[in-house]
A = this chain, B = another copy of it.
Amino acid sequence: MDSRPLILVTNDDGIKAPGLRRLIEIMRKLGDVVAISSEQVMSGMAHAVTIQTPLMPRLLKDQEGYQEYVTNGTPTDNVKLGKHRLLDRTPDLVVSGINHGSNASINIIYSGTMAAVLEASIDGIPAIGFSLCDYMPDADFSHVEEWIIRITKKVLNEGLPKGVCLNVNIPRISDEPIKGIKVCRQAESRWVEEFEERKDPYGRTYYWLGGRFENGDKRSETDEKALAENYISVVPVQFDFTAHEQVGKMNFE
């Protein structure tokens, strides 16, 4: 058993999400798995960490080569807890997902799925986020396995450059087969918000966040372009937010 890789699986759609269940199944073919997920849906929680309350993980399953924990934390908390408390050694790989919905382009900044991946990467652990471009709870994951295995095996065998992790987005199932995998850049797109205004029974105004996604980035080589053409997009991602080309130009003296 010691030669099997140790894989930490997490997500941001909560412990009951079909996407998590599918990813656990796939990863158990490749290694020993510890799954750590949240009781609550953590979609949109980004890189939030829990510092106002303590974390209470509960062991739900403890089998040969498989353990499953549920927590009251965020995806980032789950990676931290896994690495520092719940796993008996540093995992060889952290995978997150399969997210119900795209994390391509600007979605990465709101994504708990990708926050878990970035958190592992900060700690020097190879990490991959998988997302399916289908928001529905009953999304069809039947076409994803071969691609996830191909990408994961490559990362397990070859590792990733220091400080780099992967944001993998998979087109939703269609009659046309997936064309392949494209390594690309994050598209410059954004959400055009439309808050829906309502009144509560006491006359107070409240708002539901809504909106539509707008891709204004017409360049080739973006993740949105690859997905639109029925390719899987792989964006190599890093956590240095510096706009380096500006460092030498700006002056406040």
Contact = CB atoms under 8 A, between A and B. Distances in A.
Interface of A: 41, 43-52, 54-57, 76-77, 80-81, 83-85, 106, 108-110, 115, 118, 122-123, 150-151, 154, 161, 163-164, 167, 180-181, 183-186, 188, 190, 193-195, 197-198, 200, 204-209, 221, 234-244, 246-248, 250-253
B54 A252 contact: no
Given A150-B252, A204-B56, A85 B195 contact: yes
A49 to B, nearest CB: 4
A251 B237 CA distance: 15
Nearest to A196: B54
Given A49-B110, A80-B209, A186-B241, 19 more contacts: A45-B48, A46-B46, A46-B48, A48-B48, A49-B209, A55-B208, A56-B207, A80-B193, A85-B195, A109-B122, A109-B241, A163-B188, A184-B247, A185-B240, A185-B242, A185-B244, A236-B242, A236-B247, A239-B241
A115 to B, nearest CB: 7
Contacts of A77: 209
Of all A-B residue pairs in the complex, the 4 with the closest CB atoms, nearest first, are A46-B47, A236-B246, A238-B243, A236-B243
Contacts of A106: 122, 239
Which of A52, A84, A207, A208 has the most C-beta atoms of chain B within 10 angstroms of its own C-beta? A207
Given A54-B207, A164-B246, A185-B240, A190 B47 contact: no
